[in-house]
Structure 1
Amino acid sequence: MLTFWVEFALVLTAILIGIRRGGVALGMIGGLGVAVLTFVFRETPAEPPITVMLIILAVVTASATLQVAGGLDFLVQQAERLMRRHPQQITLLAPLSTFLLTMCVGTGHAVYSLLPVIADVSLKTRIRPERPMAISSVASQMGITASPAAAAVTTLLALTSKSASPVTLGQILAVTIPAGLIGVVAAAAWSMRRGVELYRDPEFLERMKDPDFKAAIEKSVTTLDKTLPRMAKLSVVLFFSGILGIVLLALNPHWLPLSKGQPVPMTTAVQFVMLSAGAFILFAANTKAAAIARSEVFTAGMIAVVSIFGIAWMSDTFVNANQRFLVAHIKTMVEYAPWTFALAMFAVSAFVKSQAATLTIMVPFGLALGLSPHQLLSIMPSCYAYFFFAFYPSDLAAINMDRSGTTHIGKYLLNHSFMIPGLIGVVVSTLVAYGLAQVYF
């Protein structure tokens, strides 16, 4: 028992130091944790999460190619056109746009191009920018669990693939898409009435007396004047063709070729289909390979791969080594109330700040405790909680891009603009997912 608590302290310390350092540090320190568990505590190292890493690599490479080819900018422009056509509905349309954009391309980092536009439409319509800005940042991350191209979805797919009743991509999307949309709409509905009206806000009116501040407010921001590459639209068609191909294969596994008498695993199919989609975009748009490697999407994806590599390997090693102890002490509670595991997942996500990394840590733990893959799917939306401390890049970007200053972090750190929309969105989507899973499975 003493060994368990010492090892647990080691793993927790490694995660906290990795989070503090940021970026790829989480992966490297996780690898150091594996070394300590192996050499000091004489534990057998678990298998590294190769399948998860390869899926993320394939999807990120295709998404980065789409970005360089101009496809991502094309999608952003379509979203801006919709919001400018119906500016009075910005608090609802903005988060739905960011949710769907993430759902389409598999990464929440696509939101950065839309945030200045959302702020601009809000100011032109005299709607308090905090209302759409905060929920739009939250919605962009909620869309991850609803995207067939997202690392979190493919992580759950891969981690449950060897269990007795693995979840399929179709089952994941059937739960997470409606759950996510309902959660976003619920949070947006609350956001429509938050705060005082912009031009009745005494703090804002006081700032408007500053000529520089007033000039910044009146400045227009748009993506519609950006000239897109000639093949931008085609790159979107090719990327979505890859996504559609994955969904069709997931719904019709008999279409997959046979290997040793068995269909090729869906986790393998995702890899070669997305790499193929990226290759078609590469050829059609004559995209330079060096530009893909330098893109924001590729950089963020590679950081995620390294982080998951180390942290998942360390977590798996710890869980495998202490499985008997964990099952004996926690299994009864989790079996009686599986939703309690959602609270644990939420707490881990608040610190790890990655839904894929959270699932990589928690899914093997949940399986070891006797939760079925479908029970884990039913609480999947709870793996998003990094809005809690409002230090995630999309939240900070929303604060910086809101020229009115209404989107903010409060004096007491946790009383920030994202807290209530985030809690409403995650709680509602988790409850809906839990209910849908009971109906489906």
Structure 2
Amino acid sequence: MTLLMVIELLVVLLALWVGARYGSLALGAISGIGLAILVFGFQLEPSTPPTDVIYIIIAAVTCAGMLQASGGMDWMIQVAERLLRKHPDRITLLAPFTTFVLTILVGTGHVVYTLMPIICDIALKKGIRPERPCGIASIASQIGITCSPIAAAVVAFATISAENGYNVSNLQVILVTIPACVIGILAAVAYSWNRGLDLDKDPKFQARLKDPVQYNYIYGSSATTLDKEIAPESKRAVYIFLAALALIVVFSVFTMAGHNILPAWNEVAVVKGGPAEITLANGVTESAKQLAKASVVLAGVTETVPKHLTMNLVIQIVMISAAALMIIFCKAKPKKAIAGAVWQSGMVAVVAIYGIAWMANTYFDNYKPEMQAMLTDLVKAYPWAMAFAFFMVSVLINSQGAVVVSMLPLAYSLGIDGWILLGIMPSVYGYFFIPNYPSDIATVNFDRSGTTVIGKYLLNHSFMIPGMIHVVIATICGYGIAFFFHSIGWI
């Protein structure tokens, strides 16, 4: 690695560090400054912005935002609360799986904020230390992102993999990540079940109860959504949303089974005279490189081939259509959707991926030969070691989607097999390590008992051990599951 490479890498890391300090939109925006320095200062050629992934996120977030605006999410939270209150003694087990499933359905972990105070309330009423369910429930709400067919990380993985010759659908991705993450959650639950002192034996908690003001704050109120009336339109919105998800899954299943039922159009293809390689003649006008490639192959033999609609476009069409149906038939107000937490957090993710991935890809694309020379021997011997890189980058940038978009092209350029990268997919979640993520901070504030904490030394917080247990176990299991599926030809 040359001195210039090191200096430019420090520019990338500095932009990420400064952006993380400001948080929210700043992470993506300040990455733009890093990109500007790389392009204008060091004369690096900018990479192509990750527009395909961004378009899918916008479509999915718009649909989820409309679901929230219609009141549909309130109904989903009510259903979840009824389940939790029906089995209060199992709150440490049920709470994380409830937040996990909600994230899978909606594609974002920000839907669980309403549920977190309820989890704390149920634990307190049952005499269970709230840190036990709250810590792992917050972790599980983010774990679900790698298991949702409409989440940015899953969409990005499928899209980028296809661009690098590994055709895997969103459904195939979650066939690996869901069982791996479920095992990881169970391992974290096993640790959390008896973590910390019981409330009646915790001297700090008992001391707080002696203060009447504190006692009233802890036990004087009850968090619930069961008293909220759900309109018929809200339930219709949920049905529309679930139908949209089901339609996406159906298309994926048929494609996996070798029966692509998606629309197809004839396209002229040019066959090169060398190795078996086909370049589409009418889709090569995006850049000077593609035009140069087209000029070489246009003299070859042409043939007409069918080109099917791709799944990334299917997701966009279905999600946008579902959002429109909610507006028409479910009284979902667009202004309310824009003001909602789901839409706003989704747009923050868009900006983060836009800035971070564009900056990181610009650096890596300009130094692919050097990166390959330095890391090829390592990844050949230990290809799973890429999981450490995924995790460390996630600690910095607080976005699993941005990790996939910025790091996956590099991983493919190093020659790592797609099934291995799919197996280590759970390692892209590492932003619990430094407890500055909104869901973790909110969980600490929602816990009226004060048992869910950040910690005096920053890293000794309530989310550290459950998070590490999950990532390690889920990544190991994901690798094993991916190996099995790959060996039988499923992925």
**Shared fold (TM-score, shorter chain, > 0.5):** yes
Instruction: Summarize deviations over 1:408-440 as a string: whole Å, max 9, x none.
Output: 122221111111111111111111111000001
Give runs of aligned pairs for residues 147-162 of structure 1, distance below 5 A: 147-162=148-163
Give the secondary-structure state (helix, strand or coil) at the position aligned to 1:231.
helix
Shift of 1:194: 0.5
Residue 371, structure 1, aligned to residue 416, structure 2: yes
User: Alignment partner of 1:339: what SS?
Assistant: helix
For 1:345-383, what per-residue CA distance to the aligned partner results, in whole angstroms no more than 9, with x for missing partners?
Answer: 111111111111111111111112111222211101001
1:341 aligns with 2:386: yes
Q: Retained in 2: the 8 A contact 1:257–1:264?
A: yes
Deviations 1:122-158 (CA, angstroms, capped at 9, x unpaired)? 0110011110010000010011111112111111122
Gaps of 5+ in 2: 268-305, 487-491
After TM superposition, the structure 1 = structure 2 runs for residues 312-331 of structure 1, keeping only pairs within 5 Å, are 312-331=357-376
The more displaced of 32-41 and 326-335 is: 32-41
1:229 partner letter: A
SS of 1:222's equivalent in the other structure is: coil
The question of whether the paired residues in 2 share the 8 Å contact of 1:167 and 1:374 is answered with no
Identity of counterpart residues, as a percentage?
A: 45
Q: What are the superposed Cα offsets for residues 39-97 of structure 1, whole Å, 9 maximum, x if unpaired?
A: 22222111111101101000000000001111111111111101110110010001110
* Whole-Å separation in 2 of the counterparts to 1:191 and 1:266: 39
Q: In the TM superposition, what is the alpha-carbon distance from 1:201 to its structure 2 partner?
A: 0.9
Secondary structure class of the residue paired with 2:146: helix
Name the SS of the counterpart of 1:255 in structure 2: coil
Cα deviation, 1:300-340, whole Å, max 9, x if unaligned, reads 11111111111111111111100000000012101211221
Counterpart Cα distance in 1 of 2:115 and 2:332: 24
| 1:166 lines up with 2:167 in the alignment | yes
Secondary structure of the residue that 2:383 maps to in structure 1?
coil
Q: What secondary structure, in the 3-state scheme, does the structure 1 residue paired with 2:196 have?
A: coil
Aligned to 1:405: 450
Structure 1 residue 32 displacement after superposition: 2.5
Separation (CA, whole Å) in 2 of partners of 1:359 and 1:310: 14
Q: Deviations over 1:206-265 (max 9, x none)?
A: 100010111122221111111223311111111011111111111223111113321011
Q: Does residue 257 in structure 1 map to residue 263 in structure 2?
A: yes
Q: Which amino acid is the alignment partner of residue 209 of structure 1?
A: K
**Cα distance in 2, alignment partners of residues 399 and 227 from structure 1:** 28
Corresponding residue of 2:278: none
* Pairs aligned (count): 441
Deviation at 1:26, TM superposition (A): 2.0
RMSD: 1.1
For residues 463 and 414 of structure 2, the distance between their equivalents in structure 1, rounded to whole angstroms, comes to 33
What's the secondary structure of 2:162's corresponding residue?
coil
346-355 or 287-296: bigger deviation: 287-296
Q: Distance in 1 between matches of 2:49 and 2:251?
A: 27
Range moving further from structure 2, 254-263 or 111-120: 254-263
1:145 and 1:380 in contact (8 A); partners too: yes
Aligned residue number for residue 440 of structure 2: 395
Following TM superposition, the consecutive aligned residue runs of length 4 or more in structure 1 with deviations greater than 3 angstroms are none
Cα distance in 2 for residues equivalent to 1:185 and 1:214? 33
Contact 2:419 2:483 in 1 (8 A): no
Instruction: Identify the residue that residue 297 of structure 1 maps to in structure 2.
Output: 342
For the residues of structure 2 that align with 1:416 and 1:31, how far apart are their CA atoms?
Answer: 32
Q: What amino acid is aligned across from residue 238 of structure 2 in structure 1? A: V
Kindly indicate whether the alpha-carbon contact (under 8 Å) linking 2:244 and 2:322 is maintained by their aligned counterparts in 1: yes
2:228 is aligned to: 226
**Could you say which residue in structure 1 is the equivalent of 2:399?**
354
Aligned twin of 1:130: 131
- 5+ residue gaps, structure 1, are none
Correspondent of 2:463 among 397, 405, 418: 418
CA distance in 2, matches of 1:24, 1:203: 38
Where do 1:78-157 residues align within 5 Å? 78-157=79-158
Q: How many Å separate the matches in 1 of 2:432 and 2:419?
A: 26
Question: In 2, distance between residues paired with 1:183 and 1:88?
Answer: 21
* Aligned residue type for 2:390: M
| Cα shift at 1:185 | 1.3
Displacement of 1:282: 1.5
1:74 aligns with 2:75: yes
2:411 aligned partner, one-letter code: G
Preserved contact between residue 180 and residue 474 of structure 2 (Cα < 8 Å): yes
Equivalents in 2 of 1:34, 1:116: separation in Å?
40
CA distance in 2 between counterparts of 1:422 and 1:165 reads 30
Distance 1:165 1:157 in 2: 8
Structure 2: distance between partners of 1:320 and 1:26: 21
CA distance in 1, matches of 2:86, 2:113: 21
Per-residue Cα deviation, 1:10-34 (whole angstroms, up to 9, x for no partner): 1111111111122222222222222
Query: Are the equivalent residues in 2 in contact too, given 1:55–1:154 (CA < 8 A)?
Result: yes
